[in-house]
Structure 1
Amino acid sequence: MATYIVNTNTKEVHKTAKIEPRCKINEISPQHRIDTDYAENYFAQGYNGCKWCYPERHTG
């Protein structure tokens, strides 16, 4: 399992180790989902951390 799941539609990065009930990680459609172990590339492109499962990287 990948460490992170990236939603290319909402531009959010999710942590697979900390899935919270309010997190929408399980609703990401396959065409908008990227499984990866490297999230920094996406943050450099302006992606945001999920408010629920990755709050330390959530910027609003």
Structure 2
Amino acid sequence: MVDGSTLEIFAQDRVALTSRCYPTLEHSTGMAIKATGGPVAADVRVWGLRSIF
């Protein structure tokens, strides 16, 4: 079993945001990052989690 619904964002080593995402469309396989107030640079890293069972 894999929980693919958790999204965590860490910004500038100061802010951490966590959210649960439940895509409803079959082709929802990606994500987009948007910012307001000016340009932003992103370093995106994805970690897979092992099962605890």
TM over 0.5: no
When normalised by structure 1's length, the TM-score is 0.30
Higher RCO by CA contacts (8 Å cutoff, separation 6 or greater): 1
Larger radius of gyration: 2
When normalised by structure 2's length, the TM-score is 0.32
Q: Give the helix-richer structure, 1 or 2.
A: 1
